[in-house]
Amino acid sequence: MREYTLTNRGRAVVAICGAAALMAWLFGARALGAVVLPGIVALAGAALQLRRIDPPEIRRDLPPDDAVGATHEVGLRFVDPATGASPASPFVADVVEATGSGLSDPPTVRVVVGEATTTYPVSYERRGSPTVGPARIRATDVLGLLVRRMEAGPADRVLVYPGRHPIAARFRRRLYREGGLGTSRQRDEFDRLREYDRGDPLRDVSWSATAKRDELIVTEFAAEAERAPVSIAGGAEDGGADDLATATASVALALLDDGVPVSVDLPNGSVEVGPTPEGRRRLLELLALATGGEPPETDADAVIEADLDGTRVRVGDAELSFEEVRMGGEATGEPGGVGRIPAGETA
Amino acid sequence: MTRVLGRLGGSGTGRIAALPPGLLRAPTAGVAVAVAAYLGVLFGVADVVGSAGALAAAVGLAVLAATASARLVSPRTAVLAAVALLAAGLLGYYLSVPPDVREVFTPTNVVVDALRLLTGISVLRLVRVDAWVLATTPIPTFLAWYLAGRGRHVQAALVAGGTLGFLVLTGDAGVGATLLGVLGVTLAVGLSTLSVPSGIRTQWDTFAALLAVMVVLPATISAFAFGGVVPTSAGSAPGLESSVTGTSESLDVVGRVGLSPAPRFRVESPVKANWQVASYDRYTGSGWVRTGEPDLLGGSVDAPPGETTTVRQNVTALSRLELYPTVWKPVSVAGPTAETAELADGGTINPRVPINTGETVRIESAVLRTSPARLRAAGTDYPDAIRERYTQLPESTPDRVANLTRRVTADAGTPYDAAVAIERYLPRVKNYSLSVSRPDGDIADSFLFEMRAGYCTYFATAMVAMLRSQGVPARLATGYTAGTEVSDGEWLVRAQDAHAWVQVYFPGQGWVNFDPTPAAARETARDRRLQAAEESGAGVAGVAVVTEVVTPGEDTPTPTRTAAGNGSSDEDLSAEVARVIEQGIPGESQSSGDATGTVINTASGATTPTETPIDPAAEGDDGDGSGPLPDRRTTGYAVLLLIGGAAVAHGTGATRRASRTVWLHVQLREGPARDVERAFGRLQALLAGRYRERRPRETPRAYLAAVGADDARMARVLEIYERSRYGDETTREEADEAVRAVDGIVADATPILGRPLRRIAGVARWVRSHVG
């Protein structure tokens, strides 16, 4: 697409000037000069204004990594690539960001580039690591007659985590047992009280302490870190990677909610994390980028396999469909976030 | 501002009195200007035909309706309603047109007529333009205001601009009104483009500069190329002929005119008379317009109602002739192009196809035979159509015209006596001059009360306006005076013989000529020009042919009444018309030549007719006494130029650069420390322009070394600067030394541009040291 194009308004001005010049030539000048000349000045002025522009660079205020279904604001600021400061000559432009698949199409925003910062909403639609940007800028003159197209980089990335289903308590308890530790968590060795942090299991909230303070207070137990993790392995055939990620996220996050550490082996890598915010983040990063492939581990406590026929969870000798494991309802983006209180059953 | 207004509008939501939110936004100002531009033109039209009051009411209603409906009615409904109203209005207009004109209205004709308007036919030529203006004007006004109320300012500007565009095409909108409209549309479009946060704040200077160039450039070009805006600085004067007897349907009264001796046609006629080519009925205050469309002649037309004599004339074209010059009133035409002859509404006959040089047309006229007594007895029982059409005056005509006319005609008991009184009064109080400045206001009023001199158009226009102010139907006739009699009954007519005079209507008689222009002065002007052409040997073919027969001194005065009777008795009417005309009007009416000559003498003191400045090339005395003062347009243009220049300078950063240049060259003293600091600042600015800026952490010494500025003077300035900055107090002498050194460095860098600036600085310093 050409760099400079006339807008409809600009085309109208050209047409009016042409018609006026023709009428002047055919039937006499009258005051048509006072129509044609300003029109030409307006068009020439538009070209001059747009030529003067140096394409800016974008600085983004990126939204947090979050699960499918979340909606966040992206903040945009424009800088002069040479100086890093605001561009010397501000201009009016329609700005729309190019986004990778997995994000909603951002709206076009009209803004003074170089002066104002602007924000636009974006919805996380599919798991992955979509790009945000570069921005496509349609700079326009003060009368909106001419448009100059330019791209402003760089592009950034966000992570979109898979969605998550609540997992039935029965199944979770069974997994603790399979892990060989499930009979009792040694929750008696109290270590200390601290403020709630993103990702802490709700069952650790000390309601009595919370009632006395303004914020949520959780209890930390001394032995937790030493507990052996429940191992989860997963694999997927073509097209099943999203289902695998969702199922693995559901099961692993449910265990973390219960305070049980997990180790997850997927075709794209493995993590072993405890029920900490950092642990959840590392888990979700792995899941966000999960691909298809054979399960790297077949004798894990739980093996999750997804293909076109559905998702199955094998625990020991038993094989269950994922529909049987989850508590019903569609996947929600809500609990996947590292910073949110899980909405599912917590007991 | 906009936000405040917007909040006011918002808080008023729900109240009936609240304005629509769109009206409270900035672009509405642009829409208002654009609407005002075309309303100004249309009010001018309404003023001419006396319907300005009604139009104001209609426009007011339209604005109120638009304001009220902006919140309530959907755009679709509003546009449909506007189209329906326009259709209804135009239907009303057609019904208001006289039945005989109306019968030619077929749908095709209506469309063709509407399109023909766009080729430059003034709406003032519409027979019932009063009805037309009332029927059409409110519609675009309603629509534009409604759209602005809806926040659709660009569309509103389009409606207003389109309406103005129509008036530009019809030729009714002048350069000023057009530029105002362009300004309004641009404001509306620009302000709505910039209606994003901080849009106006960051872009206003660019926008202002653009607007300034958009308005100033066309104004400048039209001033110099077309002479439209700044008449005083325009080039040569137009010819009297083109300004009086152009083929166009309107006659703009212009300023200074010239005379051309080029031969136009030869008439073989038994009578000496004014050869009329056109008449104008609608007086616009700044000129004349002929209303109505000509019809194909097809045979012959009626003679005047009074007693007439048939006069046959042979008109031979000596240059391409687009008109049939005839003695009033032509009734039939024969010869080349006769089959295309058209009858104008006013009664003149003209060919649609020009007559070629050498071709001869035979024209038969029915010349009225009448007498003062009959004209006195004609009474005032005018036909309605005549009264309505020929007593029109712009509403804005000052009352003093009528008051003056009442005094002048105080003793006149009949329209005839009134006409004679005015015809005598005007040459007595006004001089004849071809080099006058066109007045700004109403031509008749300006001529009567502000100008000391004018030429035929001014005299005739003033007389018509005076007669009409008393309810006497009168009109402007244009054509040529009799010209030079080259042989018995044969008249050679040149471009310089072009003339305008007055026709007054008498019931039962018809149109009768009156001529208020001082004939002697006019002829002197003409003959001077001719003589000059001969002496300079201007090889005009026709001039050489006729030199031997030009005998100005023997010319009888221009007959003022082509068909007035002997005057002494009604019985003498059997006399040959030709003789009646040749002799002019004896007694009270025989006047023009001698009478006006003497009157001019007494009226203007030392000025005799021959001394009247008549050479069109003679500058200086333009007869209206406003010579040395620039007129309103010139002043307006100068102001525009000033504002535009300032806006452009600011928008392009020229002011910043200019002040920077002055800062670099001119340093006034403030105190040793400050002086040294500024001197070093100037040096640094100079080096920054030549090499690069000093980097934020770079010391002055490192900077000078890095850019390789190792001049001894620079080193000395640096030394003084460092000592002043980091060391002891600076002495007066050191400061002077630093400033002088930097002055020298700057002078070497800018040898030409800087000199005047430094001289100014020197003067300023001297003044300061002697005053302070």
Q: Which residues of A touch B197 (CB under 8 A)?
A: 111-112, 116
Residues of B with CB under 8 A from a CB of A: 118-120, 154, 165, 168-169, 171, 173-175, 177-179, 182, 186, 189-190, 193-194, 196-199, 201-203, 206-207, 210, 213-215, 217-219, 221-222, 225-226, 228
Of B74, B91, B165, the closest CA to residue B128 belongs to: B91
Chain A and chain B share a number of CB contacts under 8 A equal to: 111
- pLDDT (mean) for B205-218: 85
Chain B residue numbers with beta carbons less than 8 Å from the beta carbon of A20 are: 165, 168
Length of chain B: 772
- Where does the pLDDT of residue B33 fall: very low under 50, low under 70, confident under 90, or very high at 90 and above? very high
Asked if the model's pLDDT at residue B538 lies above 80, the reply is no
Nearest to B187 by CA among B168, B210, B164: B210
Which of these, A327, A286, A111, A132, lies nearest to B202 by C-alpha position? A111
Question: What are the angstrom distances between the C-alpha of B81 and each of B74, B75, B142, B277?
Answer: 11, 10, 10, 46
**Where is pLDDT greater, at B241 or B720?**
B720
Tokens linked to A194: 């601290």
Q: What pLDDT shows up at residue B578?
A: 30
At A19 the pLDDT is 93
Q: What is the mean pLDDT of chain A?
A: 81
B199 vs A112: CB contact, 8 Å cut-off?
A: yes
Helix (H) or strand (E) segment spanning residue B332: strand B330-334
Query: What's the whole-number mean pLDDT along residues A291-308?
Result: 84
Rounded to whole angstroms, how far apart are CA atoms B248 and B323? 11
**Whole-number Å distance between alpha carbons of B707 and A330:** 70
Instruction: Tell me: pLDDT of A184 over 50.
Output: no
Q: Which residues of B touch A26 (CB under 8 A)?
A: 119
Which strands, in side-by-side order, build the sheet including A318-321? Answer: A269-273, A262-266, A230-236, A302-307, A310-315, A318-321
| Spatial CB neighbours of B298, under 8 Å, sequence gap ≥ 6 | none
CA distance A120 to chain B (A): 15
Residues 6+ apart with CB under 8 A from B416: B372, B375, B376, B378, B504, B506
CA of B249, closest CA in chain A: separation in Å? 14
**pLDDT tens string B77-110:** 999 999 998 888 888 887 877 766 655 556 676 7
pLDDT of residue B55: 93
* Under 8 Å between Cβ of A19 and B203: no
Ranking A17-21, B517-521, B726-730 by mean pLDDT, the lowest is: B726-730
Residue at A25: amino acid letter:
W
Mean pLDDT of A175-186: 54
Question: pLDDT by residue (tens digit) across B462-486?
Answer: 999 999 999 999 999 988 888 888 8
Residue B505 has pLDDT above 90, yes or no: yes
Question: What is the distance between the alpha carbons of residues B93 and B85, in angstroms, rounded to a whole number?
Answer: 12
The secondary structure of B648-666, three-state, reads HHHHCCHHHHHHHHHHHHC
From A29, A116, A144, residue closest to B193, measured CB to CB: A144
**What is d(CA A136, CA A153) in angstroms, rounded to the nearest whole number?**
9
CA distance A10 to chain B (A): 11
- The whole-number average pLDDT for the span A269-277 is 86
Query: For residue A222, what pLDDT is reported?
Result: 56
Hey, CA dihedral for A279, A282, A288, A289, is it positive or negative? negative
Of A38, A92, A114, which has the smallest distance from its Cβ to B194's Cβ?
A: A92
Asked if pLDDT for residue A254 goes beyond 70, the answer is yes
User: Helix, strand or coil for residue B367?
Assistant: strand
Residue B42's pLDDT band (cuts 50, 70, 90)? very high
Round to whole Å and give the CA distance between A54 and B199.
18
- Under a CB-based contact definition with an 8 Å cutoff, are residues B137 and B180 in contact? no
pLDDT category at A10 given cuts 50, 70, 90 is very high
* Interface predicted TM-score (ipTM): 0.74
Query: Per-residue pLDDT for B35 more than 90?
Result: yes
H/E stretch holding A75: strand A71-79
Judging contacts by C-beta atoms under 8 Å, the chain A residues touching residue B119 are 23, 26-27
Beta-carbon separation of A34 and B206 below 8 A: no
CB atoms within 10 A of CB A278: 13
**CB nearest to A23's CB, from B169, B194, B201:** B169
What's the pLDDT score for residue B103? Answer: 56
Greater confidence (A263 vs B578) lies with: A263
Return the percentage of chain B with pLDDT > 70, whole number: 76
Instruction: Specify the DSSP element, H or E, that contains B251.
Output: strand B250-252
Phi and psi dihedrals of B494, rounded to 5? -110, 170
Tokens of A10: 């600009």
Hey, what are B499's tokens?
């003339």
A-chain residues near B199 (CB < 8 A): 92, 112
Contact B193 A31 (CB under 8 A): no
Per residue in A112-146, pLDDT (tens digit) is: 887 778 888 999 988 888 888 788 999 999 999 99
pLDDT single digits (tens) A146-180: 999 998 878 898 999 998 888 888 888 777 765 54
Q: What is the pLDDT of residue B11?
A: 42
pLDDT at B586: 33
Task: Give B425's pLDDT tier (boundaries 50, 70, 90).
Answer: very high
B295-296 and B360-368 as β-strands: parallel, antiparallel, unpaired? unpaired
Q: At what angle do helices B138-149 and B52-69 cross, to 10 degrees?
A: 30
Residue B504 contacts residue B279 (beta carbons within 8 Å): no
Cβ within 8 Å, pair B218-A26: no
Contact A30/B120, CB-based, under 8 Å? Answer: yes
Mean pLDDT of A173-194: 61
pLDDT at B362 over 60: yes
pLDDT computed for residue B158 by the predictor = 94
Q: Which residues contact B732 (CB under 8 A, 6 or more apart)?
A: B672
CA distance A84 to B471: 80
Compare B14 and B191 and report the one with higher pLDDT: B191
Where residue B570 falls among pLDDT bands split at 50, 70, 90?
very low
A263-286 mean pLDDT: 88
Q: What is the pLDDT of residue B523?
A: 76
- pLDDT digits 0-9 by tens, B584-615: 333 333 333 333 322 222 222 332 333 233 23
Q: What is the pLDDT of residue B466?
A: 94
Q: Does A29 touch chain B (CB under 8 A)?
A: yes
The pLDDT mean for chain B works out to 76
Question: For A115-119, B448-452, B550-554, B653-657, which range has the lowest pLDDT when averaged over its residues?
Answer: B550-554
CA distances from A131 to A102, A160, B340 (A): 9, 11, 78
CB-based contact A275:A224 (threshold 8 Å): yes
Across B220-229, B239-248, B625-634, B646-655, which has the greatest mean pLDDT?
B646-655
Report CA-CA distances (Å) from B273 to B424, B556, B582: 20, 11, 8
Contacts with B118 from chain A: Cβ below 8 Å: 23, 27
Inter-chain residue contact B226 with A42, CB threshold 8 Å: no
How many degrees, rounded to 5, is the angle at CA B536 between CA B535 and CA B542?
80
CB B251 within 8 A of CB B280: yes
> Residue B259: which pLDDT band, with cuts at 50, 70 and 90?
confident
Helix locations, chain A, DSSP H: 8-27, 33-51, 169-178, 207-212, 241-257, 277-288, 322-325
Identity of the residue in A35, A112, A140 whose CB atom sits nearest the CB atom of B168: A35
**Quick one: pLDDT at residue A223?**
52
- Residues in chain B with CB shorter than 8 Å from the CB of A77 are none
**Quick one: what percent of chain A has pLDDT higher than 90?**
13
Per-residue CA distances from B452 to A237, B43, B435 (Å): 105, 30, 11
Encode burial over B317-347: b for 16+ CB neighbours within 10 A, e otherwise: bbbebbbbbbbbbbbbbebebbeebbbbbbb
More confident residue, B602 or B312: B312
Is the pLDDT at B112 greater than 80? The verdict is no
Q: Over the stretch B677-725, which tens digit does the pLDDT of each residue have?
A: 888 888 888 887 777 777 777 888 888 888 777 678 888 888 888 888 8
Instruction: Indicate the pLDDT class of residue B62, thresholds 50, 70 and 90.
Output: very high
Q: CA-to-CA distance for B264 and B266, rounded, in angstroms? A: 7
| pLDDT at res. B17 | 54
Q: Which of A222-236, B380-394, B632-646, B696-710 has the highest mean pLDDT?
A: B380-394
* Chain B CB within 8 Å of residue A35 CB: yes
**Closest residue to B206, CB basis, from A38, A49, A140:** A49
